[in-house]
Amino acid sequence: MSEFLPEFVIEDKVELYRDIFPPGDIPRIVWDFKTVPMDLPDEIYITDTTFRDGQQAREPYTVDQMVTLFDFLHKLGGPKGIIRWSEFFPYTKRDKAAIKEIRERGYEYPKVTGWMRAKKEDLQLIKEMKLEETGILASISDYHILYKFGSSRSQVLNKYLEVCEETLKSGIAIRCHLEDITRADFYGTVVPFVKRLIRLEEKYNLPVKVRLSDTLGIGLPYAEAALPRSIPKIVYNLIHDIGLPHDRLEFHGHNDFHKGVVNATTAWLYGCTYNNCTLLSIGERAGNTPLEAMVIEYIQLKGTSNGMDTKVISEIAEFYESIGYKVPPYYPLIGKNFTVTRAGVHADGILKDAELYLPFDTEKILGRPPTIAITPYSGVAGVAFWINQYFQLNGSKKISKEDQKVRKIFEWVEKQYSKGRMTAISDKEMEKQVMKYFPELIK
């Protein structure tokens, strides 16, 4: 037991919240109808776990791939380092080689941070890599304490504290990952443990962060929901009940219930400074909070990009495609259908003003202009839009949907589908029709 915290005793009971988590069934939402106010920090940041949590859901990245993706993170985060940290495993030769090459880049941000189990042999690996900060896994719910460790709360938490203190003694800042916090006894386990972490920071004068890990994606964004599932209550109460500073809190979400982004945004709104994410949401089971989505959330909340280069989001998607990862076509922001319209009424609206059917200027923000897939529903407006976009016609050079040659092309399109065609008309097929009716454009 830590000499610094010899009096740390915790009530050894088991709280599994069976009214909220009935065995084998979908979790229930329990309301206490007590609310807490929003408390958005002045500064908020994004952190990355693509190379740690993200790698647990796919084949391992090569060293070159990790370095390239890190370059993208650096560029996307901008000169102010809005993407603050990127997390790595310390175990394999490949991960160690990637860390070495990335640090040789000399970037200020993102900083490289480690991850370890609460074991002293893992700490030795972090020391060998000379990292200034590491995450330490600290599973906090009674589900993990009872079923994974087969031990008591006090025994498990004291072991965590011993390793945390040993890490701080080594001059390494820590980030305690409170795994499965959304099923944990908040006042019986989380609060007393975090209080001891605060005292360790005071003793060693090194930052001690707390990562709130919604490991199963069961957290809720509702302030009126009861603990342990309410993200607003977890964040707000840690700050206001025990005085944990905003910049010592980080949220780590999963998307099992389609709440990855809303829960992460909620964590920011109620006091978390940091949000931990992966690129393209790649992570265990249904994935993590998507980093690119939180870039957009940041801009909406703060009213500025603060120098982030959002066009890099499209470059990242293209890179993933180049290494064999298939981005789902309907994936937000980067799926191939994000800027594509198929309906003629939508195409007609975009011809008049792109704001009618697009949430922002996709070419300005993502480097991707709006496009259209030609189908029987595209109408003459869709054909005109395709021609103008494909041949980059602007101003007086634009082709009008009223042009009879445009109508002739659409009649050809309708004829293809009257024969039973199911697929969209390809660009090459459209080129041939344009060559027939607008030969001057091909020249």
Report how far residue 435's alpha carbon sits from residue 409's, in angstroms, rounded to the nearest whole number. 11
Query: Do residue 210 and residue 303 come from a single domain?
Result: yes
Domain limits for position 301:
45-322
pTM: 0.90
Residue 21 contacts by C-beta under 8 Å, 6 or more apart in sequence? 27, 28, 183
The whole-number pLDDT of residue 349 equals 58
Query: Which residue ranges in the chain fall short of pLDDT 70?
Result: 1-9, 342-357, 443
The whole-number pLDDT of residue 369 equals 83
User: What's the number of CA atoms in the CB half-sphere (13 Å) around residue 358?
Assistant: 27
Query: Do residue 297 and residue 228 come from a single domain?
Result: yes
163 and 175 Cβ atoms separated by less than 8 Å: no
Query: Do residue 159 and residue 57 come from a single domain?
Result: yes
The whole-number pLDDT of residue 4 equals 47
Tell me whether residue 281 is in a domain: yes
Q: Which residues pair with 225 in a beta bridge?
A: 31
CATH number of the CATH domain containing 224: 3.20.20.70
Tell me whether residue 269 is in a domain: yes
**What is the 3-state secondary structure of the chain?**
CCCCCCCCCCCCCCCCCCCCCCCCCCCCCCECCCCCCCCCCCCCEEEECCCCCHHHHCCCCCHHHHHHHHHHHHHHHCCCCCEEEEEECCCCHHHHHHHHHHHHCCCCCCEEEEEECCCHHHHHHHHHHCCCEEEEECCCCHHHHHHHCCCCHHHHHHHHHHHHHHHHHCCCEEEEEEECHHHCCHHHHHHHHHHHHHHHHHHHCCCEEEEEECCCCCCECCCCECCCCEHHHHHHHHHHHHCCCHHHEEEECECCCCCHHHHHHHHHHCCCCEEEEEHHHCCCCCCECEHHHHHHHHHHHHCCCCCCCCCHHHHHHHHHHHCCCCCCCCCCCCCCCCCEECCHHHHHHHHHCHHHCCCCCHHHHHCCCCEECECCCCHHHHHHHHHHHHCCCCHHHCCCCCCHHHHHHHHHHHHHHHCCCCCCECHHHHHHHHHHHCHHHHC
> If we measure between CA atoms, which residue out of 354, 402, 342 comes closest to residue 378?
342
The whole-number pLDDT of residue 146 equals 94
Final residue belonging to a domain, choices 322, 349, 377: 322
Overall number of domains in the chain: 2
Query: Do residue 126 and residue 245 come from a single domain?
Result: yes
The whole-number pLDDT of residue 12 equals 85
Final residue belonging to a domain, choices 322, 353, 386: 322
Query: Do residue 268 and residue 349 come from a single domain?
Result: no
145 and 192 Cβ atoms separated by less than 8 Å: no
Final residue belonging to a domain, choices 296, 322, 348: 322
Tell me whether residue 28 is in a domain: no
The whole-number pLDDT of residue 341 equals 72
Q: Which residues pair with 176 in a beta bridge?
A: 136, 210
Taking only the tens place, the pLDDT of each residue in 243-273 is 999 999 999 999 999 999 999 999 999 999 9
Query: Do residue 60 and residue 112 come from a single domain?
Result: yes
> If we measure between CA atoms, which residue out of 368, 361, 363, 399 comes closest to residue 382?
399
Report how far residue 201's alpha carbon sits from residue 320's, in angstroms, rounded to the nearest whole number. 40
Query: β-strand 133-137 against 111-116: which pairing, if any?
Result: parallel
Query: Do residue 266 and residue 413 come from a single domain?
Result: no
Query: Do residue 86 and residue 170 come from a single domain?
Result: yes
Tell me whether residue 24 is in a domain: no
Query: Do residue 317 and residue 346 come from a single domain?
Result: no
Tell me whether residue 314 is in a domain: yes
The whole-number pLDDT of residue 154 equals 93
Residue 100 contacts by C-beta under 8 Å, 6 or more apart in sequence? none
Tell me whether residue 14 is in a domain: no
Query: Do residue 58 and residue 122 come from a single domain?
Result: yes
Query: Do residue 253 and residue 353 come from a single domain?
Result: no
Query: Do residue 205 and residue 306 come from a single domain?
Result: yes
Tell me whether residue 33 is in a domain: no
Amino acid, single-letter form, for residue 41: P
Q: Residue 316 has which token pair?
A: 């990242």
Tell me whether residue 26 is in a domain: no
